[in-house]
Amino acid sequence: MTRLDDDLTARAEAWLAQDPDPETRAELQGLLDAARGDDGPAAQAAAADLADRFDGRLAFGTAGLRGEIAAGPNRMNRVLVSQAAAGLAAYLLERAEPGATPSVVIGYDGRKNSDVFARDSAELMAGAGVRAVLLPRLLPTPVLAFAVRHLGASAGVMVTASHNPPNDNGYKVYLGGDDHGSQIVSPADAEIAAHILRVASTTTVDALPRAPFETAGEDVVDAYVTATAQVADAPPAAGAQPRVVYTAMHGVGWQTMSRVLEAAGFTAPALVDEQIAPDPAFPTVSFPNPEEPGAMDLSFARAREVGADLVIANDPDADRLAIAIPDPSAPEGFRRLTGNEVGLILGWQAAERATASARGEGGAEGTLACSIVSSPGLEAIARAYDLEFRGTLTGFKWISRAPGLVFGYEEALGYLVNPGTLRDKDGISAGLAFLSLAARLKAEGRSVADHLDTFIERFGCFASGQISIRVTDLTKIAEVMARLRATPPAEIGGVRVERIDDLAHGYGDLPPSDVLRIVLDGGARVMVRPSGTEPKLKVYLDTVSTAGTVAERRAAAHAALAALDAGMRALVA
């Protein structure tokens, strides 16, 4: 039973005194008033809520900040963001060359308070002595990632929570210079976090100096559009192009995507009008993530209406891409391709292009990279084309740093097809690359489904699945991981476990991570890890079959996947 004590009261009142946001001030005052009530259930619930907000702090890590918008240090709000901005400014000033002025470019999407958090950050960082440049309007995350390199900035900040629930927001940090515009990794995250904690413990945000900031011109967006349009091959005549449906999932992707498609010579797609404009309430989806069941139902309905060959969907900040194709056996008449299917198709295309560009100049060079929880199929492609392969920890902060990168992806719908332009996943350039491929296939009288069969014929059938267990008590995730380590399984789904790699202390070139890799006979594999952004335990399943016809390979791989799924569900229940 939680009760309001003097210490909790003092911390809440100190936060209240410096909060510039009338909404979160009123919310916090209401909780304090309720917690000071008659010690009934309502007062106890309010005190417990306050304790949850003030007994911890939203951690700043390699994913930056992300959480629910509400008052308190364990939530996203203007106080927390102001502290983060001041801490990041201190970090940039500390590492700048003597006499040099570090710079930061800041972007924001259409979520609640994204523009407010971005402007606070720009004013505070300018006030600290950093040259702060705000993008001209709400824009996709890939435009911000591009702008870090394009403007030669020391750092970048994107205010977004990507595809999280509607009341969440986040703060994603990129570094320029030797980091080439990639997201932060260790030790930068810990160093920035230390500066943030120093700010939080030594001053109040109302005492931090503010100053005017610069606003970037539209030329930054123009440059992104021009560079991204180069991803596509010259398209066929308008009448011969694939019929496409596009949805922005209530996010910021469409305005930029439309310009990129036009610059590349593609006709405008049919739109899911209900989802095309930014709306922080995300009214047509229960969860604004194309991977979630039902999220693409309106896209499928529009695709049936226009007889589409292809559905292209971005998540709300347009750094992820979902693709769907016609499938008469699917209930909706369309099937969303898995992230691995899209990644392998785009990776194959990248390998072909690397080989073509190397003809007459020696062998193909470059690296295909994916997260270790993504399909082993990308490594098979790299071997077939004599390219390097790099498996990394989850996240584009790692994938983007692969030496010689020509293509990278992660199964959670993230793809980087143009690493020379930016160093983060980009759902706009990846969407254009996939459309360009679909257009070439259509000109050859083939479909994306045909191309998937050709892939299986050449490389084998790589089937993948995922078990995602959402929890309210994070200790349950730790308990499952501890149990798997203490009593490792000898077999899963009737298949013998060959070995288990525990990445907790690092493995090869991989830094330490709370991940278990279970390798089974026959090439099957299971990866188990806690989610880095949500209260989930994630289990990734992969099987492969290279024997027999395309149909036989597909049937064998999916049968093995079903057995693996059943076996793992029993283990993590």
Q: Which residues are catalytic?
A: 162
Return the structure tokens found at 171. 């703060």
N-term to C-term CA, the chain: 29
Nearest partner of 342 among 444, 501, 448, judged by Cα: 448
Alpha helical stretches, state H, 307-366: 339-358
User: Which H/E stretch holds residue 32?
Assistant: helix 22-35
Residue 413, Ramachandran bin (φ over 0: left; ψ between -120 and 50: alpha; else beta): left
Q: How far is CA 377 from the centre of its chain?
A: 21
CA distance 192 to 51: 26
Q: What is the 8-class DSSP label of residue 61?
A: B
Helix 253-264 and helix 427-443: axis angle, to 10°? 40
Whole-number Å distance between alpha carbons of 386 and 366: 9
Report the C-alpha gap between 327 and 308 in whole angstroms: 11
E-strand stretches of 397-456? 405-410, 414-416
Both structure tokens of 141: 């995350």
User: For the packed helices 427-443 and 339-358, what is the interaxial angle rounded to 10 degrees?
Assistant: 70
Which among 393, 398, 363, 369 is positioned nearest to 381, based on CA atoms? Answer: 369
Cα angle vertex 75, ends 157, 426, to 5°? 35
What is the residue type of 516? L
Q: Could you tell me the strand order of the sheet in which 461-470 lies?
A: 461-470, 536-545, 525-530, 516-520, 495-502, 491-492
Contact status, residue 154 vs residue 175, Cβ threshold 8 Å: yes
Residue of 66, 93, 92, 94 lying closest to 81 (CA atoms): 66
DSSP type of residue 373 = T
Residues whose CB falls within 8 Å of the CB of residue 5, separated by 6 or more in sequence, listed in order: none
Task: Tell me the one-letter amino acid at 136.
Answer: P
DSSP helix/strand/coil, 24: helix
Helix (H) / strand (E) element for 539: namely strand 536-545
* Cα 269 from Cα 335, distance rounded (Å): 18
Give CA separation, 105 vs 74, 217, 291, in Å. Answer: 26, 12, 30
Q: What angle do CA 276, 281, 282 make, to 5 degrees?
A: 45
C-alpha atoms less than 13 angstroms from C-alpha of 192 in its C-beta half-sphere? 29
For residues 261 and 431, what is the distance between their CA atoms, to the nearest angstrom? 10
